[in-house]
Structure 1
Amino acid sequence: MRKIRAYSAVIALTIALSACGGGPDAATPAAPEVDITKLDSGNYPTKPTDVEANRHPAAGALRESIKIGAASPTPYDFDNRFIYVKQRGGRHVTDDNPPFYSGAGFENAKEGLAVIPGVVAGWKTSAQRRDEFDAGRGVATMVVRFSNSDQSRFAYEELAKRTEGNPDQIPGYPDAHVRVAIKKGSYTTQYMRAWLVRGDLLIYIHLSDPVSMPFDGPANAEIVKKYFDKQLEMLKSYSPTPLAEIDKLPIDVDGLLSHTLPSESGKNGGAAVYPTQALLHTARRLDTLSLALADAGVDYTSSDLGTVYRARDSAAAVRYMAAEEAGSTTPKHTKVDGPPDMPGAHCYNAKPEEKYASDAPPFCLTVVGRYVIKSNSTNLQDAYQRLAAQYKLLAGYS
């Protein structure tokens, strides 16, 4: 609870600062100046890279997935009780990172792909009402684009046939397939799973309810309805890329990815630029990050070995750094000294008493002009060098 209050207080402070007299630049202190000639960036590259030359084979499908993510609601967008995110890893869905269909009897995602082929791109997200697992309702949603409408229709019918549970209905969606199942275990949980098909898109929601006694089926169906309503509304902004053009999609935006610290050439299939709506899905707290992003005017985030957030201006970047810092730390972290010769950088490492340092890996944050930069690593010295390299990549870039 203390962590939640601290994070909320930081967000409130950033918004209050932006509202002070004299405008954001007058209200927010500037980031300290850094002499880049003194920074130790190790052997990391410090010049912009040609991201197209090092393009990963799945880069186009990832870009199409991000387009779907930018046209998909977070759970908080359709029900503001869902604020806690526990999902780790990428949200994108591609043939290389196939969807997993919960409750359909598949052992893993690859097995599901063999039975339900034709995945082109998609987006998945999830959230829950409580910070602890199984302490409140949880929801997971997914939109999957298939190669054609026959394949999406097959997925829609096949999943309904394979998924455990009894049929049900969603108000306003007579064409939805719905399955409701109750499983007993450590927690007796009701699962409601529902699918829609729209052209070559499969739209899916999985709602888990371990707390309602007796289970409130109509209330759960209403949540599903709100998701379908919001998802269909937002998909109006999605312009599908023709299949033959997906592999040619440009992967950079305004040179942002080329100025982001790269992983080993061509090895990272997750290198990409994310618009704000897609970025929101990665938040640990959906309610607070949405406020911070809006306040700072963050429009794009690029991610590879380094992470870069582009804010409205330098003052907004300073405010967003505070929010990102609050949202990234956990009770297992402790603040440590930043890199030498980089005043203003904030770094965190696992507390000395933590048995597994991997539970709280080190990271650093600082500001370069209108950009907030972040480095993560398995050891603090490497996080320092990555931050320094990322700083050099952005120094002087507008």
Structure 2
Amino acid sequence: MQLTARSHRFRAGVALLFACALAATSCGSDTEAAAPAVDLTQLDVGGYATLPRELNEPKNDWVPRFVEAQRLGNIMPLPVEIDPKLVYQPPGTVRPFLLPDESHPSPIHRWIKEDNFADDAKGFVSGFSATGQSNKVNSIAYTLSNSVLIFPDKKSATDAAANLSRAAFYDEGPVEPAKLEKYPDAHVRWQPSGQVLASWLAQDQFVIVTITNNYENVILKESDKPGLTALAEKAIAATTSALEKFEPTPPDQLMDTSVDPDGMRSISLRRPEGDSFLNVPGTYDMHGSLHFPTDPVKRKEALTEAGVDRVAYDAGELYRTADAESAQEFKDKMSELDRYFRGSASPKGLPQATCMEYKGPAKGAIRFYCHVAYDRYYAFVGAEQLLDAQQRISAQYAILANSK
């Protein structure tokens, strides 16, 4: 699906605003009134489906390849786990990816021209990137972009690491060869003018691509090559350790794998055409889901408290919590109003859903949001029109109710 850079930024507002909501403190009372009975036939769901989906065998190989990338995301270390100062994850950044190009770029593409990726990375299955910054303001931050690419075998990975390392940098300025003392087999390049250090290291059937950058030093006209080198080595060490827990699916068995291994996709609202597919629909365990919020530290606190074990991303976000009480408490916390969120009408026939309008300064932010809890599930959706947000959350509620 072709996407413009503008649509990438526009839809990234969901992640940004949801992270803001996660920072709120719950103000629910100790005793909640019993939720009124819901007549599903009276809900306004527009054209959205109200029944669980049957996700059959994949019709093409890109679906199971994305599932493989999402599995990889579950074990990838968070940037903040590598460096505790990397507390901010930029919204609108691709995590799982297949072919990094202009229509579906990887974070690597931010610094490196991957124009010949298909030829340079023959046999590439899929990849996952984790990106973190020390501050949300680029001009005073340093950044780590850490990616893993999966290949069918060690030779393919070794060849790809060498080929990909020859790609040009986007920023002007000379690029020099460099090295990592702890990883002498890595292909390393250093661009002093952009304060960018990039490395490609083949490990078994994986290629670890690690890019460190300090834009603040560019502005200050200073250099910290040793610091960026040390950060790259820490990232590689953490990633190598994490990969020991990952068993890749043999390429000839990908078409036989389930596209919905935990059943979460079947009960999530399908993402309609027109919504962003920058990060494709999929499911993650709690750790994997922490790659997406702008503030993973606060998100982890909230998910741990609610006992979340699985998260599905599709038309909205669907969380499986420990139990019904946890889901309701999670929903109450996430839907609390503040200076930027103003209350909006609940959907017709679904008073237990909470809707709100964003009035804050974030550029390209989606305007309306609705939240609801059902049994052990909490769901969150966003839309440009209030009616659309109301219909989406009503349809998601109906799917959950009809799945029983």
TM-score for both structures, normalised by structure 1: 0.82
Could you say which residue in structure 2 is the equivalent of 1:10? Answer: 24
Task: Please report how far the alpha carbon of residue 204 of structure 1 lies from its aligned counterpart in structure 2 after TM superposition.
Answer: 1.0
Could you say which residue in structure 2 is the equivalent of 1:232? Answer: 240
Task: Please report how far the alpha carbon of residue 228 of structure 1 lies from its aligned counterpart in structure 2 after TM superposition.
Answer: 1.1
Could you say which residue in structure 1 is the equivalent of 2:314? Answer: 304
Q: Is the 8 A contact 1:92 1:124 kept in 2?
A: yes
CA-based RMSD of the aligned residues comes to: 3.4
Could you say which residue in structure 1 is the equivalent of 2:71? Answer: 67
Q: Is the 8 A contact 1:28 1:318 kept in 2?
A: no
Instruction: Please give the alpha-carbon distance, in whole angstroms, between the structure 2 residues aligned to 1:216 and 1:284.
Output: 26
Q: Is the 8 A contact 2:58 2:64 kept in 1?
A: no
Q: Is the 8 A contact 1:128 1:136 kept in 2?
A: yes
Residues 163-194 of structure 1: per-residue CA shift (max 9 Å, x gap): 562233334222222222122xxxxx411112
Instruction: Please give the alpha-carbon distance, in whole angstroms, between the structure 1 residues aligned to 2:295 and 2:387.
Output: 29
Asked if 1:43 corresponds to 2:64, the answer is: no
Residues 58-102 of structure 1: per-residue CA shift (max 9 Å, x gap): 220011001111110110111111111224154112248564644
Could you say which residue in structure 2 is the equivalent of 1:136? Answer: 141
The alignment partner of 2:234 has SS state of helix
The alignment partner of 2:190 has SS state of strand
Asked if 1:203 corresponds to 2:208, the answer is: yes
Distance 1:241 1:98, change over 3 A: farther
Asked if 1:349 corresponds to 2:357, the answer is: yes
Alignment of 1:74-223 (within 5 A): 74-88=78-92, 90-95=94-99, 97=104, 99=106, 101-102=108-109, 106=113, 109=114, 111-163=116-168, 165-183=175-193, 189-212=194-217, 214-223=222-231
Could you say which residue in structure 2 is the equivalent of 1:276? Answer: 286
Distance 1:43 1:94, change over 3 A: same
Task: Please report how far the alpha carbon of residue 374 of structure 1 lies from its aligned counterpart in structure 2 after TM superposition.
Answer: 1.5
Task: Please report how far the alpha carbon of residue 221 of structure 1 lies from its aligned counterpart in structure 2 after TM superposition.
Answer: 1.8
* Structure 1 unmatched ranges of 5 or more: 18-25, 184-188
Could you say which residue in structure 2 is the equivalent of 1:392? Answer: 398
Distance 1:210 1:305, change over 3 A: closer
Instruction: Please give the alpha-carbon distance, in whole angstroms, between the structure 1 residues aligned to 2:166 and 2:347.
Output: 57
Asked if 1:369 corresponds to 2:382, the answer is: no
Residues 94-116 of structure 1: per-residue CA shift (max 9 Å, x gap): 2485646448762xx56433443
Moved more, 309-318 or 167-176: 167-176
Distance 1:124 1:191, change over 3 A: same
Q: Is the 8 A contact 1:10 1:322 kept in 2?
A: no
Residues 95-152 of structure 1: per-residue CA shift (max 9 Å, x gap): 485646448762xx56433443322011012121112122211111110012332222
The alignment partner of 2:325 has SS state of helix
2:72 corresponds to which letter in structure 1? I
4+ aligned runs moved over 6 Å, structure 1: 3-6, 329-332, 353-356
Instruction: Please give the alpha-carbon distance, in whole angstroms, between the structure 1 residues aligned to 2:292 and 2:181.
Output: 30
Q: Is the 8 A contact 1:333 1:360 kept in 2?
A: no
Moved more, 379-388 or 139-148: 139-148
Could you say which residue in structure 2 is the equivalent of 1:21? Answer: none
Q: Is the 8 A contact 1:332 1:360 kept in 2?
A: no
Instruction: Please give the alpha-carbon distance, in whole angstroms, between the structure 1 residues aligned to 2:20 and 2:105.
Output: 37
* Structure 2 unmatched ranges of 5 or more: 1-16, 170-174
Q: Is the 8 A contact 1:31 1:367 kept in 2?
A: no
The sequence identity of aligned pairs, in percent, is 22
The alignment partner of 1:341 has SS state of coil
Distance 1:129 1:272, change over 3 A: same
The alignment partner of 2:216 has SS state of coil
Instruction: Please give the alpha-carbon distance, in whole angstroms, between the structure 2 residues aligned to 1:374 and 1:229.
Output: 36
The alignment partner of 2:195 has SS state of strand
Distance 1:368 1:222, change over 3 A: same
Instruction: Please give the alpha-carbon distance, in whole angstroms, between the structure 2 residues aligned to 1:387 and 1:324.
Output: 15
Instruction: Please give the alpha-carbon distance, in whole angstroms, between the structure 2 residues aligned to 1:140 and 1:331.
Output: 33
Question: Which of 300, 304, 307 matches 1:290?
Answer: 300
Distance 1:54 1:163, change over 3 A: closer
Task: Please report how far the alpha carbon of residue 33 of structure 1 lies from its aligned counterpart in structure 2 after TM superposition.
Answer: 3.5
For this pair of structures, how many residues does the alignment match? 373
